[in-house]
């Protein structure tokens, strides 16, 4: 393999290849468009395109292309070959029965193996997925790291020039087809589309011959075009394309049953059999209970017990010596998190509490401190001085009254958390997800969510599913009469007839491809 140095140079003495190399058209390679006799776009000429790309990659700061040390890290190979009409990018269509990003157009790539560099991982994954010969490419450099919220991966794109093209062979376990897409297709305005984000704005998408290019792969391609092809979009922004050219592929993404994360047998119920409640109905049900002496402190105790039980099962049935970090807000959820802190400490866990606001019941933190449990307030400047979280994190920051997106101290805590590869247990909903609206902007991505009493209407939304993970319903003692007083129809047997913690199954729920927010750049 011919590789540039870790810091690509911008030396004008670099000599591009003297002739273009049309790629092979044998098995396993689908050409995105037929070769034409039209003159090459001058912006795509090798001496122009590659010089601009090398220069741009050389200017990426080291910190921007370096993922967090303790995060989930992956690498993708942005493989480009020269042809008579300009560069062509090698993509894959993932199998539709994969659990991760099923059916999406993507670069070859995957998670780093222990001891691998980013470049080594990108080349190994391309070899495994499409049979690429590592010595047939020249690695140009790495682009800026980006974060994929649904899977909590930090991914580094590695740009490479395919100097000796050869036939490629799909790995049938991962890849449906290899796609070789001319950049001229991406410059063709008739193919431009946009994917609206959950909060505001859009990202670029392209209608290829038979596939839609969108998500994180499209974000990387738009960045590449920004730096390597002058004025490629003619000043057009994706959101300005209008509703007629908006695409929402997550609405038809393949789906899987949620993967069970807790050890042991727990009763289960299909989520669709339960009523889904609004934030106002939850408030009214709680108010009904409060008026009758069944107050928030008692409910917090039940919620904390459910969280402690969840952590115990997540850790194989034993919490002795397990380090648990609990993010606590000023809401009823925060009170549940503080109750869990006390119960987990009693069960032998090493507990650290990080608060993102004054606790609703200050006496809870007084008790914890007196018991020798660390309680720290999150500062606006960040959590670098705190160090990494424990082996499990509980998200008990925001309750049903919070409106998205994340902001202020909860946003600081969430930004810190995404830098670490640790399982997250959320109480009721991951912080940043609205009980009524669902997903609107950045939020915590949970591995397990413990829902209190009844699921909220947000859990009906497919685009929320990648963020809640395996979902359980916890009994906090709100009687049926409280829900009925709040206007919730309650029929049939109690969901807790077989136990106080019940797994919610959900047929037809989307995987991590089922959300519009596929990538965030500069999120470290």
Beta bridge partners of 425: 394, 448
What local confidence, expressed as pLDDT, does residue 516 receive? 86
- H or E element in which residue 283 lies: helix 279-290
Residue keyed to tokens 């017990």: 305
Beta bridge partners of 505: 270
Q: Are 82 and 21 in contact (CB under 8 A)?
A: yes
Judge if 469 and 329 occupy the same domain. yes
Q: Where are the alpha helices (DSSP H) in 65-134?
A: 118-130
CATH number at residue 206: 3.90.79.10
* Alpha-carbon Rg for the chain in angstroms: 25
Asked whether residue 188 is domain-assigned, the answer is yes
Burial bucket for residue 244 (CB in 10 Å: 0-12, 13-18, 19+): exposed
Domains in the chain, number: 2
Asked whether residue 62 is domain-assigned, the answer is yes
Q: Are 253 and 109 in contact (CB under 8 A)?
A: no
CA–CA dist 39, 25 (Å, integer): 21
Judge if 187 and 323 occupy the same domain. no
**Strand 448-452 relative to strand 323-328, pairing:** unpaired
Asked whether residue 309 is domain-assigned, the answer is yes
Judge if 49 and 163 occupy the same domain. yes
Judge if 384 and 242 occupy the same domain. no
Asked whether residue 27 is domain-assigned, the answer is no
Residue 64's contacts (CB-CB under 8 Å, 6 or more residues apart) are 144, 145, 522, 524
CA–CA dist 209, 93 (Å, integer): 13
Asked whether residue 262 is domain-assigned, the answer is no
Q: Are 180 and 108 in contact (CB under 8 A)?
A: no
Judge if 206 and 302 occupy the same domain. no
Judge if 77 and 160 occupy the same domain. yes
- Pick the closest to residue 275 from 63, 113, 12, 494 (CA basis): 494
Other C-beta atoms lying within 10 Å of the C-beta of residue 264: 9
Q: Where are the alpha helices (DSSP H) in 347-404?
A: 362-370
Asked whether residue 384 is domain-assigned, the answer is yes
Burial bucket for residue 491 (CB in 10 Å: 0-12, 13-18, 19+): exposed
Instruction: Give backbone dihedrals phi and psi of 212, rounded to 5 degrees, phi first.
Output: -110, 125
Token reading at 164: 């000796």
Asked whether residue 163 is domain-assigned, the answer is yes
What local confidence, expressed as pLDDT, does residue 252 receive? 86
- Pick the closest to residue 89 from 192, 203, 3, 206 (CA basis): 206
Rounded to two decimals, the pTM is 0.89
What local confidence, expressed as pLDDT, does residue 321 receive? 98
Asked whether residue 387 is domain-assigned, the answer is yes
Whether residue 405 has a cis bond before it, omega within 30° of 0 = yes
Judge if 317 and 182 occupy the same domain. no
Annotate 240-257 with DSSP letters as a single string. Answer: GG-GGGB--GGGG--B-P
Token reading at 300: 């917090």
Judge if 196 and 298 occupy the same domain. no
Residue 11's contacts (CB-CB under 8 Å, 6 or more residues apart) are none
Judge if 152 and 227 occupy the same domain. yes
pLDDT in tens, the chain (524 residues): 333 333 322 222 222 222 233 344 333 455 444 444 578 999 999 999 999 999 999 999 999 999 999 999 999 999 999 999 999 999 999 998 888 888 899 999 999 999 999 999 999 999 999 999 999 999 999 999 999 998 999 999 999 999 999 999 999 999 999 999 999 999 999 999 999 998 889 999 999 999 999 999 999 999 999 999 999 999 999 999 999 999 999 888 887 778 899 988 999 999 999 999 999 999 999 999 999 999 999 999 999 999 999 999 999 999 999 999 999 999 999 999 999 999 999 999 999 999 999 999 999 999 999 999 999 999 998 887 888 999 999 999 998 988 899 999 999 999 999 999 999 999 999 999 999 999 998 999 999 999 999 999 999 988 898 999 999 999 999 999 999 999 999 988 999 999 999 999 987 666 777 788 888 865 44
Edge-to-edge strand list for the sheet holding 212-213: 192-196, 202-207, 212-213
What local confidence, expressed as pLDDT, does residue 20 receive? 33
- Pick the closest to residue 518 from 121, 211, 89, 218 (CA basis): 218
What local confidence, expressed as pLDDT, does residue 14 receive? 22
CA angle 221, 223, 224 (to 5 degrees): 65
Domain coverage including residue 56? 39-252
CATH number at residue 361: 3.40.50.10260
CA angle 387, 393, 396 (to 5 degrees): 115
Q: Are 206 and 186 in contact (CB under 8 A)?
A: yes
Judge if 76 and 222 occupy the same domain. yes
- Give 336's DSSP letter: H
Token reading at 338: 């503080």
Judge if 416 and 499 occupy the same domain. yes
Judge if 170 and 314 occupy the same domain. no
Maximum alpha-carbon separation in the chain? 84
The CA–CA distances, whole Å, from 202 to 183, 193, 481 equal 21, 10, 45
CA–CA dist 40, 335 (Å, integer): 65
Token reading at 443: 């939020």
């Amino acid at each position: 393999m011919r590789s540039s140095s870790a810091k690509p140079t911008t030396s004008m003495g670099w000599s591009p290849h003297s002739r273009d190399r049309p790629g092979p058209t044998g098995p396993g390679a689908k050409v995105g468009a037929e070769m034409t006799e039209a003159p090459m776009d001058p912006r795509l000429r090798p001496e122009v395109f590659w010089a601009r790309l090398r220069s741009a990659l050389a200017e990426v700061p080291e910190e921007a292309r370096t993922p967090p040390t303790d995060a989930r890290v992956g690498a993708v190979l942005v493989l480009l070959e020269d042809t008579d009409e300009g560069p062509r990018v090698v993509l894959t269509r993932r199998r539709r029965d994969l659990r991760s990003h099923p059916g999406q157009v993507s670069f070859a790539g995957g998670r780093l193996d222990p001891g691998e560099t980013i470049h080594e991982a990108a080349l190994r994954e391309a070899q495994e997925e499409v049979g690429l010969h590592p010595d047939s490419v020249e690695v140009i450099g790495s682009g800026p790291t980006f974060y994929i919220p649904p899977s909590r991966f930090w991914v580094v794109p590695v740009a490479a020039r395919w100097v000796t093209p050869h036939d490629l062979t799909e790995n049938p376990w991962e890849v449906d087809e290899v796609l070789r897409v001319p950049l001229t297709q991406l410059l063709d305005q008739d193919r431009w589309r946009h994917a609206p984000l959950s909060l505001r704005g859009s990202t670029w998408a392209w209608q290829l011959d038979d596939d839609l290019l969108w998500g994180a792969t499209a974000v990387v391609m738009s960045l590449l075009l920004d730096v390597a092809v002058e004025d490629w979009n003619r000043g057009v922004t994706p959101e300005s394309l209008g509703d007629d050219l908006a695409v929402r592929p997550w609405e038809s993404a393949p789906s899987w049953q949620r993967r069970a994360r807790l050890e042991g047998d727990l009763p289960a119920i299909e989520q669709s059999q339960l009523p889904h409640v609004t934030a106002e109905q939850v408030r009214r049900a709680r108010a009904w209970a409060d008026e009758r002496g069944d107050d928030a402190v008692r409910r917090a105790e039940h919620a904390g017990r459910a969280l402690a039980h969840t952590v115990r099962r997540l850790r194989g049935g034993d919490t002795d010596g397990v380090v648990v970090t609990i993010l606590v807000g000023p809401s009823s959820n925060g009170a549940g998190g503080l109750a869990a802190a006390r119960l987990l400490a009693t069960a032998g866990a090493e507990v650290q509490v990080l608060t993102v606001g004054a606790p609703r019941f200050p006496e809870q933190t007084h008790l914890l401190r007196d018991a020798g449990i660390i309680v720290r307030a999150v500062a606006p400047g960040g959590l670098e001085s705190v160090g990494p979280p424990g082996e499990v994190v509980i998200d008990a920051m925001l309750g049903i009254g919070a409106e998205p997106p994340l902001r202020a101290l909860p946003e600081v805590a969430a930004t810190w958390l995404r830098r670490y590869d640790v399982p997250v247990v959320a109480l009721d909903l991951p912080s940043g997800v609205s009980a009524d609206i669902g997903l609107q902007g950045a939020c915590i991505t949970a591995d397990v969510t413990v829902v209190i009493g009844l699921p909220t209407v947000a859990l009906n939304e497919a685009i929320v599913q990648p963020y809640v993970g395996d979902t359980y319903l916890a009994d906090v003692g709100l009687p049926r009469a409280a829900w009925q007083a709040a206007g919730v129809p309650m029929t049939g047997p109690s969901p807790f007839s077989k136990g106080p913690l019940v797994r919610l199954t959900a047929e037809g729920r989307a995987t991590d491809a089922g959300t519009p927010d596929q990538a965030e750049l500069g999120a470290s």
